[in-house]
């Protein structure tokens, strides 16, 4: 059975199966019946016969209801725009009290952009307002993602919107909380695929002060969706709290922005008052062909954001731009072949990076950026200038604080792995395992000899001497991933190199007193070649090493929920182990420190499966010296 309802023309086949008794039908009877069903006085599930229905005034959903489209393969239900303003469907906007219990399933929303342009540029084919899943949520008290959803939108298609396909927009009297948007296809919107915002403020001054934000759209999950060919951003979030974007695919978005929109923007955009956001397991592919916009993959301006295990490639500019952010963690992402507007030399055209971190003049100062276990490079092409670039394009305050960049693959970029641009001032506590390479050729880089005077004896255990070896300040801007090995004595000792800021090497190994050691450093340069340097020295016989001291923890803190920083004393690299315990001291897991700084700070990652526990119940951290069998455990620490 198919039907097509158009302006003054009705083609009807076998609607009698839907309405018994031989009732004479008019063109709008099925749609009128559907409107009454979803209205405040309706009952039961609401379903239209398969077909296309022209909608000139919004369909208003005013009660808990399940709205069903294509059921059991009977045929598509298409709601097609027949107006240059307003919505095709509004959920909750006119309800007396906030709604919950609304499901929209397997419905096609066609914005009919070939016929309508929405001159205000604010139309949304589906708009959700005044919804919340619990009494606390209805008062703006949201503190996590999940729980009881007020609205579920699933299995639906949103196409050809003249402006925005879907909008979740709140106000002080109409919350937009507890929404699950899953397994949908959003494509070919003239402006945005999914627009989220509203609330009581969207300026960083208020949201950073903590005095605003309870009316931002909160507890939003976007999962397993597909966004394709939207003319500007696939997702634009002006303000939110507790937003999860997971397992979704973004292809060829921001490919042709209309004249009234900016030519530059992110395929996925979170503005300055987006707070507690997780972006995980997504794939983002830039516009195909010759791009007409300066778009990046993730454009992030907000607070407390974690982007984890995403794949981002082939964007005109950056894969990820972190703009005046507060507490951003990038972990385990694969970012490659971005910067289609490519240049490979300083000062000639457009430089970009896989990951850009910067300040903007009218926004907050960037604070707290962690980049760990990420890959940001070129694969088979020469595009990205840098793996990571710290920059301050138009900022008055060029200070960027509390930056951690460790355990990343940032090599095979056109200029260098990491660049701290001219004028950038790093403040606070920073762990950066790469020298700054902002210009020049890597072919001239070399690794100076290890300074034998940098051998420090730290203690003995089982007749072995624990030796910390500090090399010369390398400072070679092309230095890549390095290894460090020493031979000599019986058995031959060996150690992995810890490469620290300003090019200093720091290794920890075990060797017999009196052994003659021959040590080699091998490093990959940014041009992909290998460089080797060797040096030899002896551990003097009869030297009495100083006693190794047991670990002491003075404080511990969370670095988002992805990791933790422990401060204290006597953290000896090579014999130190870190264990996670719950609040009741039960052992959960051993973790590997990712950075040790001067023997008094340890940085390590929290496994994803424990991060929720870190947030809710808290964790304790135990540092063990395996040589001395001595340990120290922290107080209970929570992430936020």
| Two domains, one topology: 3-316 and 552-633 | no
Please list the residues that pair with 372 across neighbouring strands.
331, 406
DSSP 505-533: EEEEEEEETT-EEEEEEEEEETTS-EEEE
Q: What is the mean pLDDT of residues 124-132?
A: 96
pLDDT tier, 432 (very low <50, low <70, confident <90, very high otherwise): confident
CA neighbor of 630 nearest in space, from 546, 540, 569: 569
Q: How far is residue 120's CA from residue 324's CA, in Å, rounded to a whole number?
A: 30
Task: Report the share of the chain in percent with pLDDT over 70.
Answer: 72
Task: Report pLDDT for 485.
Answer: 52
pLDDT higher than 50, residue 89? yes
Token pair listed for 271: 């503005």
Selection from 305-309, 313-317, 510-514, 548-552 with the highest mean pLDDT: 305-309
Provide the residue ranges of all domains of the chain, joining segments of one domain with +: 3-316, 444-538, 552-633
How does pLDDT run across 579-612, given as a tens digit for each residue? 999 998 888 998 877 656 667 888 888 888 888 8
Return all residues near 380 (Cβ < 8 A) that are at least 6 apart.
Answer: 337
Q: Name the residue with higher pLDDT: 292 or 12.
A: 292
Rounded to a whole number, what is the distance in angstroms from the first to the last CA of the chain?
Answer: 54
Q: What is the mean pLDDT of residues 121-132?
A: 94
CA neighbor of 48 nearest in space, from 67, 65, 23, 63: 67
Task: Report pLDDT for 508.
Answer: 43
Return all residues near 490 (Cβ < 8 A) that are at least 6 apart.
Answer: 512
Q: Which fold is adopted by the domain 552-633? A: Immunoglobulin-like (2.60.40)
Query: Max alpha carbon distance in the chain (Å)?
Result: 109
Q: Name the residue with higher pLDDT: 264 or 276.
A: 276
Question: pTM (2 decimals)?
Answer: 0.74
CA neighbor of 640 nearest in space, from 579, 583, 557: 557
Positive/negative CA dihedral, 542, 546, 549, 554: negative
pLDDT higher than 70, residue 517? no
Return all residues near 7 (Cβ < 8 A) that are at least 6 apart.
Answer: 54, 82
Please list the residues that pair with 468 across neighbouring strands.
456, 508
Task: Report pLDDT for 83.
Answer: 95
Q: How far is residue 220's CA from residue 146's CA, in Å, rounded to a whole number?
A: 8
CATH of 444-538, one of 3.40.50, 2.40.128, 2.60.40, 1.10.730: 2.60.40
How does pLDDT run across 331-374, given as a tens digit for each residue? 999 999 998 765 444 434 467 899 999 987 778 889 999 999 89
Task: Report pLDDT for 507.
Answer: 44
Q: How far is residue 486's CA from residue 469's CA, in Å, rounded to a whole number?
A: 11
pLDDT higher than 50, residue 119? yes
Q: How far is residue 522's CA from residue 518's CA, in Å, rounded to a whole number?
A: 13
By DSSP bridging, strand 320-323 and strand 294-300 are: parallel
Q: How far is residue 310's CA from residue 307's CA, in Å, rounded to a whole number?
A: 7
Q: Which CATH number is associated with domain 3-316?
A: 2.160.20.10
């Amino acid at each position: 059975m198919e039907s097509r309802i158009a302006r003054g023309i009705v083609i009807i086949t076998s609607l009698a199966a839907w309405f018994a008794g031989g009732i004479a039908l008019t063109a709008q009877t099925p749609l009128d019946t559907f409107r009454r069903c979803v209205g405040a006085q309706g009952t039961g599930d609401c379903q239209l016969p398969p077909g296309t229905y022209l909608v000139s005034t919004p369909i208003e959903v005013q009660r808990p209801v399940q709205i069903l489209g294509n059921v059991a393969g009977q045929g598509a239900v298409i709601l097609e725009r027949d107006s240059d303003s307003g919505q095709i469907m509004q959920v909750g906007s006119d309800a007396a009290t906030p709604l919950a219990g609304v499901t929209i399933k397997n419905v096609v929303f066609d914005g009919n952009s070939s016929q309508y342009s929405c001159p205000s540029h604010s139309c949304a084919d589906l708009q959700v307002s005044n919804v919340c899943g619990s009494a606390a949520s209805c008062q703006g008290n949201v503190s996590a993602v999940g729980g009881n959803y007020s609205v579920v939108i699933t299995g639906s298609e949103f196409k050809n919107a003249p402006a925005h396909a879907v909008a979740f927009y709140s106000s002080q009297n109409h919350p937009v909380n507890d929404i699950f948007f899953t397994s949908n296809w959003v494509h070919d919107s003239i402006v945005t695929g999914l627009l989220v915002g509203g609330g009581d403020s969207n300026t960083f001054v208020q949201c950073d002060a903590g005095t605003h934000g309870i009316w931002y759209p909160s507890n939003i999950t976007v999962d397993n969706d597909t966004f394709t060919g939207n003319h500007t951003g696939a997702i634009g979030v002006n303000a939110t709290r507790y937003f999860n974007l997971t397992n979704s695919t973004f292809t060829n978005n921001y490919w042709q922005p209309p004249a009234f929109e900016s030519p530059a923007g992110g395929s996925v955009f979170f503005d300055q008052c987006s707070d507690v956001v997780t972006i995980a397991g997504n794939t983002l592919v830039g516009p195909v062909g010759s791009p007409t916009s300066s778009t990046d993959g993730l454009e992030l301006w907000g607070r407390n954001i974690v982007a984890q295990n995403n794949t981002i490639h082939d964007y005109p500019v950056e894969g990820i731009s972190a703009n005046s952010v507060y507490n951003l963690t990038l972990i385990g992402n694969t970012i490659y072949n971005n910067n289609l507007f490519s240049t490979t030399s300083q000062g000639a055209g457009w430089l970009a990076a896989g990951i850009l971190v910067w300040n903007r003049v009218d926004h907050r100062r960037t604070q707290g950026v962690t980049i760990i276990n990420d890959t940001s490079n070129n694969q088979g092409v020469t595009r990205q200038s840098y793996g990571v670039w710290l920059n301050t394009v138009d900022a008055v305050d060029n200070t960027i604080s509390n930056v951690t960049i460790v355990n990343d693959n940032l090599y095979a970029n056109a200029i260098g792995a990491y660049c701290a641009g001219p004028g950038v001032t790093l403040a606070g506590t920073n762990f950066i395992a790469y020298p700054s390479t902002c210009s020049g050729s890597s072919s001239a880089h070399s690794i100076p000899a290890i300074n034998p005077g940098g051998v420090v004896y730290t203690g003995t255990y089982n007749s072995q001497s624990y030796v910390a070896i500090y090399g010369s300040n390398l400072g070679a801007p092309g230095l890549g991933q390095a290894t460090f090995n020493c031979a000599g004595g019986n058995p031959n000792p060996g150690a992995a190199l810890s490469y620290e800021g300003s090019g200093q090497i720091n290794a920890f190994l075990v060797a017999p007193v009196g052994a003659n050691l021959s040590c080699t450093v091998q490093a990959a340069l940014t041009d992909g070649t290998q460089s080797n340097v060797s040096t030899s020295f002896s551990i003097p016989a009869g030297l009495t090493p100083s006693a190794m001291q047991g670990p002491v923890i003075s404080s511990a803190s969370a670095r988002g929920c992805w990791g933790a920083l422990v401060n204290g004393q006597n953290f000896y690299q090579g014999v130190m182990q870190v264990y996670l315990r719950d609040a009741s001291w039960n052992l959960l897991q051993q973790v590997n420190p990712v950075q040790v700084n001067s023997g008094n700070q340890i940085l390590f990652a929290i496994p994803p499966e424990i991060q929720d526990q870190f947030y809710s119940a808290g964790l304790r951290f135990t540092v063990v010296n395996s040589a001395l069998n001595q340990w120290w455990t922290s107080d209970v620490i929570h992430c936020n």
